[in-house]
Amino acid sequence: MKHYTSINDIDNINSWIEEAKEIKANPLTNIEIGKNKTLGLLFFNSSLRTRLSTQKAALNLGMNPIVMNVSGDAWGIEFGDGTVMNGNTAEHIKEAAAVVSQYCDVIAVRAFPTLTDKEKDNSEQVLNSFVQFASVPIVNMESATGHPLQGLTDAITIAENTNKKKPKVVLSWAPHIKALPHAVGNSFVQAMQKMDVEFVIANPEGYDLNPEITKDTPIYHNQAEAFKDADFVYTKNWSSYESYGQNLGGNEDWVITKDKIGDAKFMHCLPVRRNVVVEDAVLDSESSLVIEQANNRTYAAQLVLKKILEDL
């Protein structure tokens, strides 16, 4: 594998899940594979899980992680082609990506969407510029429209927590006070579409995700209906895609409660606002898989890095 920028880079999700489980059972088996190799982690945005789990994954493979907060530590980066750089940006991505490639064997990038410029976000300008101008593999640590390390993590977690041949998985929108990206929702949709599950999405009207991603996945605007017989309820807020990047307000009754989900397992990528997105009673119950998801972030990242290192 060259880059890991999207769930679409997973050729066979079932074999990936099996390999991730093996890594989880013996995380240090491949500690020689990354020896004297450097992973550069470039953060344009905040991170807790991604920051720590990706470093941990690199260490488990014997790699040296180098972390950089691009905005704070370095220079404003220009992405426009042909720009006369007489403004706030001091370095062009053409140089930045090529330069970092001189020091790092793999580059991992986190860059959130604008949520104001739909076209720019859909073009994945930052991530794709790294792919274009770097000379080493790129790993997406959450981009404008996808969070494929999270999506892979979620697939692994679901596989670990069911014995059913075809469990029912619901992705449910939930309320939030801010306008959030679509990245986690998108990658979860794409991951579920690859798995042998009964998958449906529940969200209020006005919050349908990008139809090019949801494709023929059923979308319910009635949460209760969608939750019927659910084995897994994966919850996430996102802003409107149609009224791009807006938090339309209301819909507080979409909060996830114990009553609503019954015996279904609860999943969320974290961070989660308690008692806004989901009640304490759910998060503090045995049904919650959120900490196990966080744990699996390490093994998802480790699997991706291992596949990249094997192809270097």
Least distance (Å) from its own copies to the CB of residue 210? Answer: 24
- Confirm whether residue 41 is marked as ligand binding: no
| 120 annotated binding-site participant | no
Work out how close the CB of 70 gets to its own copies at its nearest, in angstroms, rounded to a whole number. 8
Q: What tokens does 180 get?
A: 């959030």
CA distances from 265 to 120, 134, 160 (A): 36, 40, 12
Tell me how many degrees the CA angle 218-224-226 measures, rounded to the nearest 5: 20
Interface residues with its own copies (CB under 8 A) are 28, 31, 36, 38, 40, 43, 46-49, 51-53, 55-56, 59-60, 64, 66, 68-69, 72-75, 78, 82-86, 89-92, 94-96, 98-100, 102-104, 177, 270-276, 280, 283-284, 290-291, 294-295, 297-298
Do residues 112 and 145 touch, judged by C-beta distance below 8 A? no
Report the residue number, 9 or 91, with the smaller CB distance to its own copies: 91
CB of 263 to its own copies, least distance (A): 22
28 labelled as ligand-binding? no
Minimum distance from residue 270 beta carbon to its own copies (Å)? 5
Contacts for 1 with CB less than 8 Å, ≥ 6 apart: 9, 137, 304, 307, 308, 311
Q: Which is nearer to its own copies, 55 or 143 (CB)?
A: 55
Q: 274 among the known binding-site residues? A: no
User: How far is Cα 185 from Cα 34, in angstroms, rounded to an integer?
Assistant: 31
Question: Any binding-site annotation on 297?
Answer: yes
Q: Long-range contacts made by residues 250-257, C-beta under 8 angstroms, separation at least 24?
A: 250/204, 251/173, 251/175, 251/204, 252/175, 254/172, 254/173, 254/174, 254/175, 254/204, 254/223, 255/174, 255/175, 255/279, 256/172, 256/174, 256/282, 257/281, 257/282
- Please report how close the Cβ of residue 65 comes to its own copies at its closest, in angstroms: 8
Q: Is 176 marked as a binding-site residue? A: yes
Record the tokens describing residue 294, joined without a space.
């966080």
- Binding-site residues for carbamoyl phosphate, in ranges, read 47-50, 75, 110, 147-150, 269-270, 297
Write out the binding residues for N(2)-succinyl-L-ornithine: 142, 176, 236, 273
Binding-site residues from annotation: 47-50, 75, 110, 142, 147-150, 176, 236, 269-270, 273, 297
